[in-house]
Amino acid sequence: MSGWYAVFRKETANFFVSPIAYAVIASFLLISGFFFWANVSLMSLISLQAANNPMISQRINLTDVVIRPLVQNMSIILLFLMPLLTMRLFSEEKKSGSIELLLTYPITDLGVLMGKFLAAGLVLVIMLAGTFSFPLLLLMLGEPDIGTLISGYLGLLLMGAAFMALGIFLSSLTENQIVAAAISFGAALLFWVMSWTSSFSGEKLGAILRQLSILEHLDTFHKGVLSLVDISFFVLFTAFFLFLTLRSLEAYRWRG
């Protein structure tokens, strides 16, 4: 993985020199903040309505009304925004012709790939870190389930990494950034909703669709459960598409 840090520095600088990173981070924080405000407002309204009904008041809590819906909404926002981070990583290099120069440097293909992947990952971490004020406010308001918060953010990080790997692979297949973004979003959405047809797809095919669905594996994180099966799914999903990207770079080098 020789030379990855040089690529990482270059790509990180490219993200923050252009408005892409700022626009993606601002959009994520703005929409997430809106959902957080809406969920907290709903919690306040329910609490007022339940003041005269002890049975209802015992059933409501910050975890169910605020944390889980917020994490679910944030995962949907990432579904839309991650293709914007990955669309240019290889397609821009191919369009400008700089990929030939990049591949002639004393840097391995794995180093190039990991430098770009980690640069996009840094933006993802900054996005998620910007929302840490939400759980801090919840800790001031009440006693949210810390385990659900931790598992929820871990799920967001793993899902974001999976979408990045998928987007980077598709970016390596085209010279057009818009095409890369559109196909990445379509592919991510397909993996998201794949399990919706499992109930009428037959027993074997339905089981396969459920296993391939990101939503199915993300649901346990929303519930505050850390499952080795679900963690392994995201790790293998990410590794698989990074592997395909390496094969794509090797094929481009061979054709060139």
Q: Is residue 15 part of a domain?
A: no
Number of domains, the chain: 1
Kindly report the pTM of this predicted structure.
0.91
Q: Is residue 111 part of a domain?
A: no
Give me the percent of the chain exceeding a pLDDT of 70: 94
Please write the tens of the pLDDT for every residue from 8-34.
999 999 999 988 899 999 999 999 999
Q: Is residue 122 part of a domain?
A: no
Q: Is residue 138 part of a domain?
A: yes
Q: Is residue 144 part of a domain?
A: yes
Q: Residue 112 pLDDT more than 60?
A: yes
Please write the tens of the pLDDT for every residue from 40-70.
888 878 777 666 666 655 567 778 888 899 9
Q: Is residue 8 part of a domain?
A: no
Range of the domain at 229: 24-105+133-255
In whole angstroms, give the CA distance from residue 102 to residue 165. 20
Q: Is residue 4 part of a domain?
A: no
Please write the tens of the pLDDT for every residue from 153-210.
999 999 999 999 999 999 999 999 999 999 999 999 999 988 777 777 777 888 888 8
Q: Is residue 119 part of a domain?
A: no
